[in-house]
Amino acid sequence: MAGLFESAGAGGAVLALDELEASILRSLEVQMLELIGPGPGGDGDGDPLAALFAEGPTEAPDDPALARLFPDAYGDPGGPADPRSAEASGEFRRYTELDLRARKRDDALHVVRALDGLGGEGGLVSLDAPACLRWLGALNDLRLALGVRLEVTEDDEQGLYDLPDADDRKPLVMAYLWLGALQESLLEAVAD
């Protein structure tokens, strides 16, 4: 896989993807949408005023990947549970998580729709500056979730390059590393 972002000027970027790359990225984003879930009500046909005042959960998600995407706002991430921090995190989560989930869903959907615009084939994806921010968010979310599933730590990230081909994690590791390269190239393209 070689498709990386290049600057298009004015904070925009372009990405040339072959059919396989587009398919893999689309599949990963669809899986992200499934992980995040449909949101409150599930169908979006509810009362918009009620949705505006809807309260989210007060407990962190049980799924480690979701917990990484929606971390507690207070307390030490790996430390012992502090009742005051847990209560503050619950209050913060109650008023922010629904919006954060909606933003993450919107970012992932934006990527899926852009890839759908290629018609199931490879091609050139052109992004303006606001779309670049959505793609950065979506790519970051994918890397965070994959990193949790692969149990990646800063200490062993170099070891990912040395996995034998027979290792069952190899396809996910390749996706994780490619997403990192995409994310880095997009940051560089936006900065140009």
**What distance in Å separates the CA atoms of residue 43 and residue 184, rounded to the nearest whole number?**
35
Provide the pLDDT confidence category of residue 47 given band limits of 50, 70 and 90: confident
Tokens representing residue 56 in the block: 């989210």
pLDDT at 159: 79
Instruction: Kindly state the helix (H) or strand (E) to which residue 17 belongs, with its residue range.
Output: strand 12-17
pLDDT at 36: 96
- Whether residue 68 contacts residue 28, with contact meaning beta carbons closer than 8 Å, is answered with no
pLDDT at 70: 94
Provide the pLDDT confidence category of residue 80 given band limits of 50, 70 and 90: confident
Provide the pLDDT confidence category of residue 41 given band limits of 50, 70 and 90: low
Tokens representing residue 65 in the block: 């990947």
Exposure of 114 in the CB half-sphere (CA atoms within 13 A): 24
Per the listing, tokens 């994806």 go with 125
**What distance in Å separates the CA atoms of residue 44 and residue 115, rounded to the nearest whole number?**
24
pLDDT at 30: 98
Tokens representing residue 162 in the block: 């040395």
Tokens representing residue 75 in the block: 């307390």
Beta strands 123-127 and 5-9 are unpaired
Tokens representing residue 149 in the block: 């599933």
Alpha-carbon torsion (76, 80, 85, 86), positive or negative: positive
* 143-180 confidence digits (pLDDT tens): 999 999 999 987 777 778 888 889 999 999 999 999 99
pLDDT exceeds cutoff 60 at 39: yes
* 117-150 confidence digits (pLDDT tens): 998 788 999 999 999 999 999 999 999 999 999 9
- Mean pLDDT of all residues in 43-71: 81
**Among 37-46, 97-106, 156-165, which range has the highest average pLDDT?**
97-106
Tokens representing residue 69 in the block: 């995407």
**What distance in Å separates the CA atoms of residue 26 and residue 133, rounded to the nearest whole number?**
17
Residues 6+ apart with CB under 8 A from 7: 13, 188, 189, 190, 192
Provide the pLDDT confidence category of residue 113 given band limits of 50, 70 and 90: very high
Residues 6+ apart with CB under 8 A from 83: none
